[in-house]
Structure 1
């Protein structure tokens, strides 16, 4: 009997470990599809509580939040999205825009019968969060955006990243991509090459409190991040020491705690100018 119990517990622990080891972005137990705006979007849900929408960066997927989901799932209903043309969300269109991505987020929340949600976006996801707050202000309770930029040039991006993007454009421009994956990758690249184009003055229309974050060694210029913060009516700013673009991965514990603190703060006072 004791042997049977031992092997039963061992099997149970292995199953539990297997569940924990299921990678985010490929977790069939947590995964769902929603057809909105003509696109079949993939997303995963974890936890319970106030809804929290996670939006990843260019070329990524919901698995990029591997170090964040377990923390937030203790207090929130986490909705980790694969943006259109990313991860398991397929998009047959020939172009992308941040307006498309923001409208997808709003439509997904409506599909889930959610009036609004907290939003955490990284890189392109941070841009999407800001555009979502502009286009669908009622959908955003509060937003945290790390590593976001408002336009695609060397005044917003570091010289190294800008030169890398220019080389990528020169190499791909004029090519005809017949392979579906390479065609999609090029479309995703062009999103960041061509966009966004959000004037600082437009941020006055963001009514939701915002937490603007970047690493002190980010690929987004520090002065650009500060300008975004200064242009928002209700905002916090955090430049993460000893961090590159991956603030939420490189400093996951502190990042999770500070973003959670922002979401749960009783009030967000207007910034002191």
Structure 2
């Protein structure tokens, strides 16, 4: 169980950076008010679950989506920045954080439709969206499945497939091995703990999903900022593949960066994403390419 929890954190915070920095960030996530704020925290009955969410600030709606095994607190550096201008909406996704889901199955499509349900619950017609890691996958799916809900979308560390054409081979092998090992351990238990079953459900998601066709990206009508680190767990060529197949897209690859762009490059990340939301999308073709 501890091995699974550690793996989830490794995927989340990329311990390839200095270990002390990752530990400090983990401590900040564990102590921040975000994700555990009784003044703003609420539950909504969404598609058979009680989804926990928090809202900060006023203005144009901005939905921020966390990654696998994460929570609202992962965006402790984004919430105060964007809340100065936007109505920032964050939720613990199905089977994660404070949003409990005891069902056996879990998919990115389910989580995406939950988020759409939350926007409907809040009576929000459309919003700008930021998605990190699995949250980026769900952001892409939201733009495909519920296009009216997404104004502009920024995704970092997203992937369309779980194989080595998209995920770094070392990371893909590590995740798959842990998933198989955890599943074998679960089979040997008569009454496995609910937490372990839930963790394995999330690990299964990482190991075998998503399965999004490249052609489906062409259905996305909103402007999209596609972001990745040059040493991300998602390969740079795959991030480029996502960018090249979205009709209205910008590409931003951060140098000397792993998966955790919203954390270790938080100031730059916040500024660039904020500019993307604020400025009209510009088609750069023909002679405009010289500019």
- Tell me if TM exceeds 0.5: yes
Aligned-partner Cα distance in 1 for 2:249–2:158: 14
Aligned-partner Cα distance in 2 for 1:121–1:268: 22
Match of 2:134 among 121, 124, 127: 124
1:235 corresponding residue in structure 2: 249
1:198 corresponding residue in structure 2: 212
Q: Is the 8 A contact 2:32 2:76 kept in 1?
A: no
Number of aligned positions between the proteins: 253
1:266 matched to 2:280 = yes
Q: Is the 8 A contact 1:236 1:271 kept in 2?
A: no
Helix, strand or coil at the partner of 1:172: helix
1:110 corresponding residue in structure 2: 120
Aligned-partner Cα distance in 1 for 2:285–2:63: 25
- Per the alignment, do residues 30 and 268 of structure 1 end up closer, same or farther by CA in structure 2, a change over 3 Å counting? farther
Shift of 1:270: 6.0
1:60 matched to 2:67 = no
- Per the alignment, do residues 108 and 270 of structure 1 end up closer, same or farther by CA in structure 2, a change over 3 Å counting? farther
- Per the alignment, do residues 271 and 151 of structure 1 end up closer, same or farther by CA in structure 2, a change over 3 Å counting? farther
Q: Is the 8 A contact 2:179 2:200 kept in 1?
A: no
Match of 2:96 among 64, 86, 93: 86
Match of 1:179 among 184, 193, 203: 193
Shift of 1:271: 7.0
Q: Is the 8 A contact 2:46 2:117 kept in 1?
A: yes
1:152-199 per-position Cα deviation (integer Å, ceiling 9, x unaligned): 111100011011012112202332361011111011111111210001
Aligned-partner Cα distance in 2 for 1:67–1:196: 27
1:17 corresponding residue in structure 2: none
Aligned-residue CA RMSD (Å) = 1.4
1:41 matched to 2:51 = yes
Q: Is the 8 A contact 2:262 2:270 kept in 1?
A: yes
Helix, strand or coil at the partner of 2:131: strand
Alignment of 1:4-83 (within 5 A): 22-83=32-93
Aligned-partner Cα distance in 1 for 2:142–2:56: 22
Aligned-partner Cα distance in 1 for 2:183–2:201: 11
1:159 matched to 2:175 = no
Which runs of 5 or more structure 1 residues have no equivalent in the other structure?
Answer: 1-20
2:262 corresponding residue in structure 1: 248
1:211 corresponding residue in structure 2: 225
Aligned-partner Cα distance in 2 for 1:195–1:267: 31
Aligned-partner Cα distance in 1 for 2:284–2:211: 25
Instruction: Output the TM-score relative to the length of structure 2.
Output: 0.84
Q: Is the 8 A contact 1:235 1:268 kept in 2?
A: no
Aligned-partner Cα distance in 2 for 1:25–1:271: 43
1:6-29 per-position Cα deviation (integer Å, ceiling 9, x unaligned): xxxxxxxxxxxxxxx752111111
Aligned-partner Cα distance in 2 for 1:144–1:269: 17
Q: Is the 8 A contact 1:215 1:245 kept in 2?
A: yes
Aligned-partner Cα distance in 1 for 2:76–2:53: 14
